[in-house]
Structures are given as C-alpha cells and as structure tokens.
Structure 1
Amino acid sequence: MQRRHLLQTAAALAVPALGQQAWAQGSFPAKPIKLVIAFPAGGPTDITMRSLADNASKILGQPVIVENKPGAGGTLPAQQLQSAVADGYTVAQIPLGVFRLGYTTKINWDPIKDITYVINVTGYAFGIVVPADSPLKNWADFVAYAKANPGKLTYGSTGTLTSPHLTTELVAQKAGIELQHVPYKGSADLMLAVVGGQVMAAADSTGFATQVEAGKLRVLNTWGEKRLDKFPGAPTLKELGYDIVQNSPFGIGAPKGTPPEVVRRLHDAFKKAMEEPSYVAALARYDMLPNYLSSADYTKFAQDTIGREKVLIDKLGLAKGS
C-alpha cells in the first residue's frame, strides 16, 4: 500500500512538469481559441479582427473563433478575462476604454495587474460625419449651430466613455459648445441612426466610409496627425485649431497568469498574422494601419495610457463621484 501511495504521489507531482514540457514542445494550442471583441458583427473592428483571426488560425493550426461582446463602452471582453482560465484559450480585444475603467466605474480588478498584454495590433482612424443633406456643411456650421442651440445638437458614438465620445466632448469643451450625446453599441447601429436622421451627427471610426462614398454622409473632420487619403477635403482637428490627435490603439490581452510560453506562442502567431496582405487590406478599408507593439511594449503602453486617460477624465469632470 505504501509503495502504491508513493507511486501515486510521484505521478501527481509529475503532472505539472509534464505540462510545462508540453508547453515547451509547442503543443499549444490543442483546441480552438476564443477571441472576444468589443463591438458588434459587421463593423470595422469585427471585420478586421476576423481577418486577423483567420490568419492566426492557419499559423496556430487551430481555429481562432471570434465572439462579439458589445456594450459597456467596449470593456466587456476585458471583464470576461477576469473569470477565464489562464490557459491561452480565451483572449480578448483591449480597447482604450479599458484604461479608463478605474476612474469611471467601480471594478474589483486592476486593468494593468489583472490582464496579460499579448500584442498591440492596430488603431482606429476617427472623424465626425453628418447626413449628406444636413444644413451643417462644414465644421464652422456645426459650431455655429451648437452655440445658437445649446444642448440641442445630437451626436451618436459607439458608447459612453469610448474614444469617440470622450474626444468629441473634449473638442466641444475647447470650442465652447454643448452637445447631446447618444450612445450606440457599435458602428453598424450608429450608421443606421445617423443616415436615418435619428441623430444629427456621428463620431466614429471610419466605418462610415462606405456611407460617405455612397453619398449618404459628409465628413466634417478627422482626428489623425494628417488628412486621410480617402477624405482629402476633411480637415484634421489640429487644422481646425484643436491640439488633439486620437487614433485609439488596441490589441489583444489574455487572463492574468497565462504561462509565458503560451503568451509567446500567441504573440508570435498574431504578429505573423498581422503581416499577411489580407489583414493589411482589411485595415486599409477603414484607413487603419498595422500598429505592432510587443508584449513588453504593449504592457508599458497600457501603464502610460492609464496616466494620460486620468488627465482626460478629470478634465471632462467624468471621474467617479465628480
């Protein structure tokens, strides 16, 4: 009996060692991986991330399955990581809104300590659009109307405390105007709303491009460092006198405690997937570019961004209890 007990104990102790050896030998992944993204199907994030996932599937030898989890300003995937097993089989998109949570919402986890940052992949190109038949022909018209009608100019975004919402509020503050914000779950719903006249304007990533090209929307401004090739007539915020550039980088995170070997495997696969022409082309549809950050650099970016976002939240008076 004693010998049997010793053998069972030895076998039990060997399991972690065998597990580590399996990681080292590259047996991960042995089953499909779930990639949770923060916005609904059919929008720019969904389309580009599905392209990335398809490429990564071929590299990893297992399907990378996209699951849409819209709402809560794009933070639900990060929250889902808090209850996921730290084995690499659940990963999530980390939009910039995740770094604001500690200042705007009561949470029992830390956006830095409780997420393993795998890789940054891209960032959005943003702007403000109005219906093509709107009397607001340019940004000067927009500001003039808002000043004459405080709080009556409605605009939609992809959610409360998202980059489109906060940046528009920052611009409004600098312009001395008051707007009425209407949140939507994603670009697809938002575009239906602005084209249908439910809101007077929309602040969004360039998922609005197809509606602009179809003659249904007009671009009033864009938020990058320079004008977008696709909309050369739309001035940047900097050209309009606001010292603001917003492209909202995002990447992929895993649960806290994910083995380093697994993180490395995921990083390497997604990095290679980013370099595939199909992904670059998918991004180009929305004036987005690959924006690679390694696991270490992405972690540092997250730490730095949390400090910057606190300044923005405080400036807009949106901190908890304010």
Structure 2
Amino acid sequence: MPAIAAYPERAITVIVPYQAGGSTDTVARRFADLAGKRLGQQIIIENKGGAGATLGAREMARAKPDGYTLAIIPSPVFRLPHVQDAGYDPNRDLTYISMISGYTLGVAVPEAAPYESWEALLEAARAKPGAISYGTASVGSASNVMMEQIARHYGIEWEHIPYKGENDVLQNVMGGLLEVYAGSSTVRPFVEDGRMRMLVTWGETRSRIFPDTPTLHELEPDIEPMYAPFGIAGPRGLPPEITSGLDEVFREIIESDEFQQILVQFGQEPVYMNSEDYTEYARAQYALEADIVKQLGLASH
C-alpha cells in the first residue's frame, strides 16, 4: 500500500481516450484491475474516443486535482495542440504520474490483398499515387504521423481515412471498404487466424507477437522506430504525495511478472518512467511534435 493518508477513499476514474476493445483500452483495464487491488478501491475505466485521442487530456484541464480523475495520455496529446486549438496545454494542465507502455505499431492488409510484402505495397503506391487508402484510429495519431513520414521518405502518396477507433478501422478493412490498416496490435487476432497479413512493424526490433514480420527499421535504417508510449496523468496541481504514492503502486505493477505477461499478450512493450522522468519526456515530446507538425504541414491554425 502507498503512503498516502486517507487516499483513496472511493473509486478512481481513469479516462481512456479510445473506444472500448482496443489494445490501449484492454491493457488499461487489466492495469486498473491490478492497481485497484493494491489501492483498495475500484478503478473505473471511462472510454471517451474521438478528438484525436485527446479527450482525456481535455478532461484533466478542468478536473479537480484530488486524485479521483486520471487519464491515459497517448502521443497525440503532445501533437494536437500544434495542429489546432486542443483545449489544454500539455506543459501546464497535466501532472504526469507514470509512463506505462509502448505500442507495437505497424501495417497490415487483408489476406486477399495483392500486397504480399511491405515492398509490394510501396511499389503499388508509387505506381498509383493517391489511389491507396489507409485507416487509423484518429487524425494526428502516431500511426497517421508515421504513415505520412513514410510517404515523405519514399516520395509516395496515399490517402488517410481517420476513424474513431481501431475496431472501426478493422471492421472496414475486413468489410472490403478499406485497403490498409495502420495501427497497433489490436490486429493480432486477425493475423493469427489468417484473415490479415502483417507487412511491417515499426519498432527497433521484431515484435514478440509478430516475429516473422520485418521491422521498418531493418528494411530502411534511416527511418526512426516508433513505439508511441503512453502513461497516466492527473490534473494540474495534483498533490505530490498522491502523485508519488500512485507512481509507487504503478511501478510495482508495471515491473510485476503478471503485468509483463499482459503486455506480451497484447503486443506491447514495457516503457516505465517515474513522475519526474515522465514530465521531462512530456516537455521534450511536446517540443519535438512542433517540428513534426511543421514538417508534415498538419497545422490548421
């Protein structure tokens, strides 16, 4: 148990800025179950998809800093304020508690698709500029940004179709309405049962759940790997004793064998940072995203 006097006295809500059923939501729910047992109170997951996966951060900008409302913070939180008025400031409105995990990201296509490899997809995109469409969970998501960086690197064009969550992307791919899925290991069941083919992953080393799939980094070393790590944050002004107490509990869970097995199951990597390191990472990432948005011409203001 953490050394936090009289906290928590009731259930804690954690906002997940994605639809229910995706990899982030599923891992967050398993994490919440473990954390709730250690804290002695239930942790309730509240799904709020849309708005580029930033609704959790928006809620933190106006939430009471008492430790009873927290949010999962994915990478678009640091990007969207450079694109449009996001309704929050990542450097001002959040108290960063713990970095938790990083996604296994990549590109997959239906088994019936003519693209047998990543190289074949690139060749088709070169031959038919703008004709191939890919779907992601949201505008400005890590997958959207990576696909546009790839397009710039290879001098190709393809069309981005944003959705409200990865499950919607997969439904449209499987329904024949979309050619390419760009996203996380939510696609894993479809790959394992043979309905989809994983063409490439974006980590530095091959994924533990897609060991036969090459990484983009090994095919093209000039392109930096992408994990898009996420963590948990609270509102500005969260008391230090609550922040440090939660971080202590979260670290113990992240380092436990049980949670490590959960990460393997859902194709994620452990990327723990304590509150201080996570805060420094957030500031650096926010600055880096300004350059990415400028390079890709994503800003709308």
Same fold (TM over 0.5): yes
- For residues 51-106 of structure 1, the C-alpha deviation after alignment (integer angstroms, 9 at most, x for no partner) is 11001111111101111111111100010111111100000001111111221011
- For residues 118-149 of structure 1, the C-alpha deviation after alignment (integer angstroms, 9 at most, x for no partner) is 11000101010010010111122111211221
- 1:274 shift after superposition: 1.9
Of stretches 257-266 and 267-276 in structure 1, the one that deviates more from structure 2 is: 267-276
Q: 1:126 aligns with which of 84, 102, 105?
A: 105
Q: 1:258 aligns with which of 223, 227, 238?
A: 238
> Are residues 25 and 280 of structure 1, via their aligned partners in 2, closer, same or farther at CA, if it must alter by over 3 Å?
closer
Larger Rg: 1
Structure 2 residue aligned with 1:72: 51
TM-score (norm 1): 0.89
Identity %: 38
1:287 aligns with 2:264: no
Matches of 2:125 and 2:141 in 1, distance apart? Answer: 22
1:53 aligns with 2:70: no
Residues 143-158 of structure 1: pairs in structure 2 closer than 5 A? 143-158=122-137
Matches of 2:67 and 2:25 in 1, distance apart? Answer: 21
SS in 2 for 1:101: helix
Matches of 2:130 and 2:4 in 1, distance apart? Answer: 61
Structure 1: runs of 5 or more not aligned = 1-22
Structure 2 residue aligned with 1:196: 175
Structure 1 residue aligned with 2:18: 39
> Are residues 269 and 24 of structure 1, via their aligned partners in 2, closer, same or farther at CA, if it must alter by over 3 Å?
closer
SS in 1 for 2:182: strand
Structure 2 residue aligned with 1:236: 215
Of stretches 296-305 and 194-203 in structure 1, the one that deviates more from structure 2 is: 194-203
Contact 1:87-1:259 within 8 A present in 2 as well: yes
Matches of 1:98 and 1:58 in 2, distance apart? Answer: 29
- 1:300 shift after superposition: 0.3
SS in 2 for 1:147: helix
- 1:279 shift after superposition: 2.2
Structure 2 residue aligned with 1:269: 249
Matches of 1:105 and 1:311 in 2, distance apart? Answer: 15
Matches of 1:89 and 1:154 in 2, distance apart? Answer: 41
SS in 2 for 1:155: strand
Structure 2 residue aligned with 1:12: none
Structure 2 residue aligned with 1:138: 117
Structure 2 residue aligned with 1:113: 92
1:316 aligns with 2:296: yes
Structure 2: runs of 5 or more not aligned = none
Contact 1:116-1:258 within 8 A present in 2 as well: yes
SS in 2 for 1:238: helix
Structure 1 residue aligned with 2:165: 186
1:27 aligns with 2:10: no
Matches of 1:107 and 1:161 in 2, distance apart? Answer: 12
TM-score (norm 2): 0.95
1:174 aligns with 2:153: yes
- 1:315 shift after superposition: 1.1
SS in 1 for 2:95: strand
Structure 2 residue aligned with 1:163: 142
1:296 aligns with 2:276: yes
SS in 1 for 2:63: coil
Contact 1:51-1:278 within 8 A present in 2 as well: no
- 1:108 shift after superposition: 4.9
How many equivalent pairs are there?
299
- For residues 249-302 of structure 1, the C-alpha deviation after alignment (integer angstroms, 9 at most, x for no partner) is 110000001111111222122222223333222211222122110000000000
Contact 1:47-1:282 within 8 A present in 2 as well: no
Matches of 1:143 and 1:107 in 2, distance apart? Answer: 33
Q: CA RMSD in A?
A: 1.5
Q: 1:245 aligns with which of 225, 230, 236?
A: 225
Of stretches 294-303 and 222-231 in structure 1, the one that deviates more from structure 2 is: 222-231
Contact 1:38-1:71 within 8 A present in 2 as well: yes
- 1:44 shift after superposition: 0.7
SS in 2 for 1:268: helix
